[in-house]
Structure 1
Amino acid sequence: MQASCINYHHTGFFSKNLTDYLCNDSQLSNFYNYQPEINSFKQIIADKSNASINRSVLVEVLKSQYASLGSGPWNENIEALAKPNAFTVTTGHQLCLGTGPLYFIYKIITTINLAKKVEQANPENKIVPVYWMATEDHDFEEINHFNLFGKKVTWDLEAKGATGRLATQTLHPLITELKSILGTSREADELLNLFETAYIKEQNLANATRVFVNELFGKYGLIIIDADDPKLKKLFAPIIKEDILDQKSYQLVSKTVAELEKIDNHIQVKPREINFFYLDDQLRERIVFENNCYKVLNTNIGFSKEELEKEIDKHPEKFSPNVIMRPLYQECILPNLAYIGGGAEISYWMELKSTFDHYKLNFPMLVLRNSALIVDEGSKKKLKQLNLETKNLFTETNKLIDIFVKQQSANELNLDAELQKIEKAFIQISLKAQNIDPTLAGSVEAEKAKFFNSLKGLESKLAKAEKKKFEQQTSQIVKVKEKLFPNGSLQERVENFMPHYLKYGNGFIEMLANNFDPLDFRFTIIE
């Protein structure tokens, strides 16, 4: 096994927003607090120490949520959070079935490694890695499947409301299907046992996800939090009330969006006037203000201003933040130093700094999660035979084939030298024509353009003819590209972790942990 890194910009898969942020572009400096580097954490720890975090409620809720998981490294970390010298670094994600795409795993490993790195640099503090489960999300179709060996395995269910509350009893057919796909091996048995322990024995998707993720990462001390909890929501209630009534986040984020658009920054999310949902069993619907009444869309539920305030005081758990307000909820209840996310998350967090400032919440460091391409032995062997480096694979397929053919061909496939000579000839022709009749210059240019287009077409035919000599090799290039970049996308956005677990078992996660540096912002290639 060997690992190498390339610049994110050179992959062609990451936005200008992100690469500008990683390059410390001065135009973005007003939209975040801290440079993403290890030396920033002393200041973040000092700033977060001044925040009012109700640690006793946080620990009480976590102990309750972990009551059925027995003892492990997580217990020590939960207890540590009661102390003022303990802080967190956090990532968040939906409750993807079986962890969904690989980058779910990458986010958590980045978070675990960042916690270690920050604690090593600040030994007087305890740094706890946290996975925030998006249990209140209701986009079931985004999480109800995973891709395994080119097959989409799907949980068929007509789901309503928050995904964390969904009953898991209908997952039996999916696990039966999974058995036929995974085959028979020790690693396959481990995975099937994990699915049954998590998704069959647990009653809802939130608890199932906690069990599943804890089995993979609990030994690293990862803490998994479900914020769909009345005691935690009560801590957030003052901000819920103010933001719904005064619509501050809408005003502030709208202004920030306008400022970002002025510097051609792509906008990830747009705020709504009210950035909360009303949450109940099998219900998560937007709250809107219409005809002097706070209404819950697609229901008969409505509140006057006074009724809404009473409802928030009595049942804060029924008010669910959307993508704009969820980060504020997180930072309200956690002693958090950094948020680890993908490129799109980093971009939308930068829309929120002014809202954090308004509510006097410390804006954490934004850290890009690690990304990786895992090159299997078969693909590596083919690349070696083709005399191509793995980093070449980020080149568009047709261009990569052109490069390969030019490298392998003994023939000169371009007509550059000939075109230069003809260019000089046309200069002489143009001079002669102008001496005879200046109006003929346009005709000469037109003939030159036609001639050059014809030669370019001939050049393409030469390249095409030469490619036929290398059909077997170019076919291999296409196959390797399709395997490592499924559907033309990054591997991590499509594939699940299970094929790699079948090969390496728990060693797969350890391999990633050993090769991911959370503050070295380059794309990792693991061969």
Structure 2
Amino acid sequence: MNVVPEPLPGGPALARGFMDQDEKAAKFYGGHFQPLQNKRQRAAWLDESASARADRGRLTEVLRDYNAKYNNHEAVRLSLDLLERPETLVVAGGQQSGLFTGPLLVVYKAVTAILAAKEASRELGRPVVPLFWIAGEDHDWDEVNHTYVLNRSGEIAKLKIEAPETGRSSVSHIEVDGENWEPPLAQLEELLQESEFKAGMLELVQAAARKGSMCAAFAEIMGALFGKFGLVLLDSADPALRRLEQPFFRSLIAGNETLEDAYHKTASELKEEGFQLQADVAEGGANLFYIHEGARLLLIRKDCVFTDRKGTISFSREELLDLLDRYPERFSNNVLTRPLMQDYLLPVLATVLGQGEISYWGITGRAFEQMGLQMPLIVPRMSFTIVEGTLHKHMEKYGLTFGDVLEGLEEKKRRWLEAQDELELGRRFDEVKAAFADMYDPLLEQIGTVQAGLIKLGGSNKEKILDQISFLQGKVQDAMAKQSEAALRQWERIERSLMPLGRLQERVYNIVYYLNRYGLSWLDGLMELPADYSGTHRIIYM
């Protein structure tokens, strides 16, 4: 692998400002992961505040039970043994549980957490374990039920899994039986090209599918890929975990108005600085979900009661706290309280975030303080685009850079096609049309002196003749394009591989395609790349 930095334009201004360490943006965060001094200060604070977090022993037991089911590796068991010790810290990252792990960025987030934990452990001289937070409590099934691969012909293929009526149930609680898994598994087998690794990849995803839910399948595959690196998995919808979170949920409910005020004040400051908010800070928002008859409902405060937008449920604060005592598994966080809960549960030295996540975490700074916490250090997720060897040769052949692909190739492809016209037929057709018009226009003026109505007829006749010349020109261009058909397919493959659906490759394609081509050793190679926590996008030339 050859890795080349390729900074990307754009992105949320707040995240960009943080990664560039612009003071205007950086003041909303706990600090960047890169300076060693930041790590030492954060570690010292975690040591001092240990008693305010969830009980390590109980937490470790919950994680042992979960990982024994899906991620039962010796390295993971060692990580959990370390986590039980009071001096051990965590680098955490997380994502929803997508089909077959979802897009590549999920894999890059896990890689970042593992490498960052290893680096921090070496620098601080104490254990730091990597942990992946599976957002199983999320209820947007349509967001996680599909993924994309390149098929044998180099075209974009969508894989999708159907499930019974999901309503607003948490993804972790949606049972998906074998019959529903069969279509995407069969489609994957058909789409992937034959390789020495294909049987192993299919066996991996088939074994994951037998676990019965999207989250369980996700955990099984993530464990198979990263368990040997000691990556601990956590499902945020685990009922046993929810019981550990109960005291913090109580604090979130008891101090709900003050917490909302903290979010609003920071949101106002961000807008005053010219930054766009990446998460909604609603008036009266409780920033918590309650599961009612299987549906995950977002709570708001209205007339001194906690309810949902449709008024399906309604509880006083005391009633809600009573429900929390009896049914903690019915409660879950929203996007603004999840960072706080993570910091209550775990001794988080640093958290791995993408640019969108960095932007909405900026809203939470004052809320951390309100809850007696401090925002952890931020590690921008490592970001890559994979350029396979043949593809790279095609790009060199046509003089294309990754920046060209980002901008779109249509205009460059058009100019390239024109350059293939060695007979200059395009120019000559244009000359013929111009010459015809030069000869025909004076004739139109003359026939107008014979009879005025002939001018209109002559103009119509002129347009028909020009249309016929253009028709022939189009046929010639089609014939030339057919001669360049193989080359045009290479142009299309470049664009589909690097910017599928007009988006970065890491946001669309699934890792299974690459593992099928290169095997698990490709992932090992990814783990050996130089770590970069600046947020700079990099190109991997295979």
Q: Deviations over 1:291-327 (max 9, x none)?
A: 5433355575432332212111222221111111111
What does the per-residue CA deviation read over 1:462-500, in whole Å, with 9 as the maximum and x for residues that have no partner?
Answer: xxxxx99x9857885565234311122111111111111
Letter of the 2:409 counterpart: T
Change (3 A) 1:256 1:97: same
Among candidates 141, 163, 166, match of residue 159 of structure 1: 166
Aligned to 2:33, the other structure's residue is in SS state: coil
Q: Partners of 1:492 and 1:13 in 2: how far apart?
A: 16
TM-score normalised per structure 1: 0.82
Q: Give aligned pairs, total.
A: 465
> What is the deviation of 1:38?
4.0
2:332 pairs with 1:332: no
Aligned-residue CA RMSD in angstroms? 2.8
Is 1:220 paired with 2:229?
yes
Rounded to whole Å, the distance in 1 between the matches of 2:489 and 2:96 is: 38
By how many angstroms is 1:113 displaced? 0.9
Change (3 A) 1:314 1:388: same
Q: 1:359-374 residue pairs with structure 2 within 5 A?
A: 359-374=371-386
Displacement of 1:401 in angstroms is 6.0
1:97 CA displacement: 0.9
- Secondary structure of 2:200's partner? helix
Match of 1:32 in 2: 29
Q: Deviation of residue 235 (structure 1)?
A: 3.9
Give, in angstroms, the shift of residue 278 of structure 1: 0.8
Instruction: Give unpaired runs (5+ residues) of structure 2.
Output: 151-155, 422-476
Alignment counterpart, residue 246 of structure 2, candidates 217, 234, 237? 237
Q: After the TM superposition, which residues 191-230 of structure 1 pair with which residues of structure 2 at under 5 Å, given as runs?
A: 191-200=201-210, 202-230=211-239
> What corresponds to 1:488 in structure 2?
502
Worse-superposed segment, 156-165 or 182-191? 182-191
How far apart are 1:193 and its partner, in Å?
A: 1.1
Once the two structures are superposed, what CA deviation does each residue of 1:198-240 show, in whole Å capped at 9, x if it has no partner? 111x133333222111001100000001132444334433442
Are the counterparts in 2 of residues 38 and 519 from structure 1 also a CA contact under 8 Å?
no
Change (3 A) 1:516 1:490: farther
Which stretch shifts more, 31-40 or 215-224? 31-40
Aligned mates of 1:476, 1:184 — CA distance in 2: 21
Mapping for residues 250-329 of structure 1, pairs under 5 Å: 250-272=260-282, 273-279=285-291, 282-296=294-308, 300-329=312-341
Map Cα deviations across residues 130-156 of structure 1 (whole Å, 9 max, x no partner).
100001000000000111221111111
Give the one of 353, 361, 365 matched to 2:365. 353
Q: Which amino acid aligns with 1:162?
A: S
1:108 to 101, 106, 110: 110
Q: Does 1:177 align with 2:187?
A: yes
Identity among equivalent positions (%) equals: 27
Report the counterpart of residue 23 of structure 1 in structure 2.
20
Indicate which of 399, 406, 418 corresponds to 1:387. 399
1:423-462 aligned within 5 A: none
Rate the CA distance shift 1:281–1:389 in 2: closer, same or farther, 3 A.
Answer: same
Q: Distance in 2 between matches of 1:190 and 1:66?
A: 22
Question: Please, which moves more after superposition, 269-278 or 72-81?
Answer: 269-278
Could you list the runs of 5+ residues in structure 1 that have no partner in the other structure? Answer: 410-466
In structure 2, the CA distance between the partners of 1:234 and 1:484, relative to structure 1 (3 Å rule), is: same
Q: Any idea what SS the aligned residue of 1:350 has?
A: helix
> Is contact 1:57–1:232 with CA below 8 Å preserved after alignment?
no
Residue of structure 1 equivalent to 2:471: none
Residues 173 and 486 (structure 1 numbering): CA distance in 2 closer, same or farther, change over 3 Å?
A: closer
> Which one of the candidate residues 499, 505, 524 is aligned to 1:510?
524
Equivalences for 1:48-67 in 2 at 5 Å?
A: 48-51=46-49, 52=51, 53=53, 54-67=55-68
Question: Aligned in 2, Cα 1:402/1:365: closer, same or farther, shift over 3 Å?
Answer: farther
* Structure 1 pair 68–238 and aligned structure 2 pair: CA distance change class (3 A): closer
Please tell me the residue identity of whatever aligns with 1:303. Answer: F
Moved more, 343-352 or 149-158: 149-158
Contact 1:198 1:208 in 2 (8 A): yes
Q: Which aligned pairs between 1:115-130 and structure 2 lie closer than 5 A?
A: 115-123=117-125, 125-130=126-131
CA-CA distance at 1:50 after TM superposition: 1.7
Q: How far apart, CA to CA, are the structure 2 residues paired with 1:376 and 1:511? A: 14
